[in-house]
Amino acid sequence: MKRVFKIQLHISAEPPYCFPNWLYQITFPPTVRRWIVDMEGAPGTLYEGEKFQLLFKFSSRYPFDSPQVMFTGENIPVHPHVYSNGHICLSILTEDWSPALSVQSVCLSIISMLSSCKEKRRPPDNSFYVRTCNKNPKKTKWWYHDDTC
């Protein structure tokens, strides 16, 4: 958890310069292991102006173990890789995770995923998945077969 705390201190003292202000803002709740990230859809995309929240949960094995990341709050984006319960089908959140990845790079990947979407729709198996899945999206055995939206 030392690394999570160090990242939190670094981001608080020096917000990332490479991301425009509208991309995201990190709120640090009293516990170091749970972060809320407020995001806004990028200009010129289907999600322009929409506001979303991501929940990051860090295990004691972070950064060697990926954080649990999911959308939370009132507005879960309607996207082919985002389930209505907030779970995100994105390989860097599970099997393609690397300790070199950061909260910022995860946020940028999610913003990029949303920005490349051509049609707002839920995954075809949304209803079944939401009824039967584990609360932790990392316990899902995802099948990555679609690089397009």
Question: Catalytic residues, which ones?
Answer: 89
Least Cα distance to 52 among 78, 29, 30 occurs for: 78
CB atoms within 10 A of CB 69: 27
Phi, psi of 8 (to 5 degrees): -60, -45
> Strand runs (DSSP E) across 58-142, as ranges?
68-72
The whole-angstrom separation of Cα 46 and Cα 30 is 34
Residue type, 77: P
**Tokens 């972070």 map to which residue?**
62
Strand 51-57: give its sheet, edge to edge. 24-27, 34-40, 51-57, 68-72
Q: How many helices (H) and strands (E) does the chain have?
A: 3, 4
